[in-house]
A and B are shown apart, each in its own frame.
Chain A
Amino acid sequence: MIWLTWRQLRVQTLVAAGALAVLAVMFAATGPQLAHLYDTTVATCGAHHDCQTAVSAFMSQDSFLQKLTNFVMQVIPALIGAFWGAPLIAHELEAGTHRLAWTQSVTRSQWLAVKLGLAALASMAAAGLLSLMVTWWSSPLDRVGPGLLDPGVFGERDIAPIGYAAFAFALGVTAGLLIRRTVPAMAVTIAGYAGVQVAFSLGLRAHLIAPIRAVSSLSLGRATSMAITTPGDHLSLGVTPSLPGAWIYSSQVTTASGSTNLGTAPQSCLPGSSTIHACNAAIGRMHLRQVVIYQPASRYWAFQWYETAIYIALALALAGLCFLWARHRLS
C-alpha cells in the first residue's frame, strides 16, 4: 500500500520538492547578505542617529523576494489542499479505481490510513520546510518589522503553516470524498480554507488568549496625533503605545474617570494661541489616561502552539469523518 501511495503521489511530490529546492536556492543566495546588511546598517544606526533612514532602506531590501514569500506562504496550504488533498480519493472515485483497490487484499481502512497518513505527512513536511526557510530568511526583517504577532506575519512563520497545511489537506480529502468529483472538490477546498483563514485572522485568534488591559497616565511625548474638532473645540488624542512587537487591539486616551470623551480642548491648544509647550502643559494638567488592550510579544509562541493545535485538531476531525464515510457510505 505504501508503494502504491508513493507511486500515485510521485509526480506531485517531486514537483513540490523541486519548487522547494528553487526557493531554497533563492533564500540561500540572498539570506546571508540580508543578515549582513542588518548587522552593518540597522544594528549600528544608533551611533549615527539616523535609524529611520537605515530601517526604511533595509526594509525595502529584496522587496521582490519579500512579496514572493508573502504570497507563497499564503497560497501554499490552499494549493496543498487542492492538489494533494482533493484528488487523493475523488480521482479514484471518478475513475472507478477504488473498486480495484478495495478488492485487493487490503481493507478499506488500511487503504485510507496509508494514503491519508503518507500524503498528510508529506504536506506537513513541505509546509514545515518552507516555513523554516522563510522564518530564517526573514528574521532580520522581522526584527525591524511590525512584530511576529502582526496578522500579516504571524501565520507565515514557524509552526503555524504546518497546521494550515494539515487542515487544508484534510479539507481537500474530505471534500473529494463527499463530492466525488475532483474539480468541484478543489474549488470547495480553496474557498473553505480561505474562509477559515479569514475567520481566524479577523476574529478567532484574538480570542485565544485574554488580552492585557494596561492603564497608565498619559505621557505626551508619545502622542502622535492631536485633533481639535469644531464646533465645540472638541479634543481628541491618538497615541501609539511603545510596546515593541506587541499585537495591539486598541489604544485609547480617556479622562481620569475613564470616559473617552475628553471634553473641550484647553485654551492654549487652540489654533493661533500660545506655544506647543503651553498646550502640552495644559493637557498634562487634565490628568488623562492611556488605555491599551494588547497581547505582548512574549505570547508569540503560545499563540503559535494554540493555532497550530487547533488546525491540527480540525484536520484530525476531518480525517475521522473520512474514515467513517469511507467505511459506511462509499461503494
Chain B
Amino acid sequence: MTGAVVLTARGLGKQYHRRWALTDFTLDIPAGQVVGLVGPNGAGKTTLLHLATGLLQPTTGTIEVLGGRPGASRAQLARVGFVAQDTPTYSGLTVADHLRLGAHLNPGWDAGMARDRIERLDLDPGQRAGKLSGGQRAQLALTLAVAKKPELLILDEPVASLDPLARREFLRGLMEAVAEQGISVVMSSHLVADLERVCDYLIVLVGSRVQVAGEVEQLLATHHLLTGPRRDTAGLPAGQEVISASHTDRQTTLTVRSGTAILDPVWTVSPVGLEDLVLAYMSRIPDTRRKPALEVQR
C-alpha cells in the first residue's frame, strides 16, 4: 500500500426508515488501485457507494472521498465519476446529446476523449439512448463518467445486467480508460468472476462489515486450501485462521489464512482461487465472536 487513500469511512451508518443498511462501518480504500467491492445482495455495497458519491448523506459517522465531503461542492463532484446501477441514461436523448450534456455540466470535460470512445465503440451519435442495447448503454454511461476526468471512478454493479460478451467489452473499456488516465477505481459486484479480471484490490463486504480487504495477490498468497483426514480444526497452530471448513465422513477441507507456509504433513496444501476465497468469507457467520468452525458447520 502506498499510504494514500481515496476513501475513508469512520463509524459510518445509514438508516432508511427503520432499517439500517450500513452500521458502524470503518474502512480505508487505497489510492491508485482498481478496487473490487464484493458481497451478497443487501450487504450495503450500493449504500456505501451512494454515500461516497454524495447521493446519500450518512446517518452516523463520517465519510471522506479524496479528502473532501462527498457531493459537498461542484469541485468535489467534478473529482468523482459515477456509473450507477443499471447504468441509467436519458432514453429520449441521443448519444450526441449525452456528450453535450457532459460538456455542459462538467468543467473538466474531455470532448476529444468522449468522441474517440464513442467512435471506437461504434455507437451512432444520432441514436437515442433508449434504443441502445444494454451493453451500449453501459458503455455510454461509462464514457460520461470517464470523460469528466475524475480522480476516482465509482461503479455500482455496472455489468450486472449485461450478457457475458457485453460484460467483457465493458470491462475492457474500463481497463483502457484506467490505463490511459491512471485513475483510481472502486467497483462493486456480487460476482467475483467480473472483479477477478480487473481488480488488484479486493474488499469483501458481508452484513455491512468488511470481512477481508487486501491486494488480490497478497490475498491469494496468504490463503490456502487444506485437505486431509477428518479432524477438528481447534488444533491448528496459532497464526492460522480458519475461514471456512467443510467435512465429509472421512475428509476435512479448510480455507485457512496464514502468513507463513503450512508445514503440517497431514494436509494437502493447494492454492485458493479468488472465487473460493471470497465464497469462504461470504459464508462466514458475520458475528465476530464465532464459535469454532467445525461446530458451526455441522
Contact = CB atoms under 8 A, between A and B. Distances in A.
Interface of A: 1, 3-4, 7-8, 95-97, 99-108, 110, 328, 331
Nearest to B108: A105
A100 B86 contact: no
Given A7-B97, A105-B107, A99 B82 contact: yes
A105 B57 contact: no
B39 interface: no
Contacts of A102: 53-55, 71
Interface string B70-83: 01011101101110
- For the side of the interface on B, what is the size category? 35 or more
Nearest to B53: A103
A103 B93 contact: no
A325 to B, nearest CB: 13
Nearest to A110: B74
Contacts of A103: 53-55, 77, 80-82, 84, 145
B101 interface: yes
A107 B74 contact: yes
Most buried by B among A4, A100, A106, A110: A100
Nearest to B156: A99
Nearest to B72: A107
A144 to B, nearest CB: 48
Nearest to A4: B101
Given A1-B105, A3-B104, A4-B104, A100 B141 contact: yes
Contact of A106 (B53, B81, B105, B141): B105
Interface string B37-69: 000000000000010011111000000000000
B161 interface: no
A95 B91 contact: yes
B77 A106 contact: yes
B111 to A, nearest CB: 14
A326 to B, nearest CB: 12
Nearest to A327: B57
Nearest to A107: B74
Contacts of B78: 105
A111 to B, nearest CB: 9
Contacts, number: 78
Nearest to A101: B105
A37 to B, nearest CB: 47
A7 B88 CA distance: 17
29 contacts: A3-B101, A4-B104, A7-B93, A7-B100, A96-B86, A96-B88, A97-B88, A99-B82, A99-B88, A100-B84, A102-B55, A102-B71, A103-B53, A103-B54, A103-B80, A103-B82, A103-B84, A103-B145, A105-B74, A105-B77, A105-B107, A105-B108, A106-B77, A107-B71, A107-B73, A107-B77, A108-B71, A110-B74, A331-B56
Contacts of B102: 104
A71 to B, nearest CB: 30
A162 B16 CA distance: 39
B93 A106 contact: no
Given A7-B93, A328-B57, A331-B56, A100 B104 contact: no
Nearest to B93: A7
B106 interface: yes
Given A95-B90, A96-B86, A97-B88, 14 more contacts: A3-B100, A4-B105, A7-B93, A96-B84, A97-B89, A102-B54, A103-B53, A103-B55, A103-B77, A104-B102, A104-B144, A106-B77, A107-B71, A107-B74
A95 B92 CA distance: 11
Contacts of A101: 105
A100 B88 contact: yes
A3 B89 CA distance: 16
Contact of B90 (A3, A97, A108): A97
B148 interface: yes
Most buried by B among A99, A105, A110, A328: A105
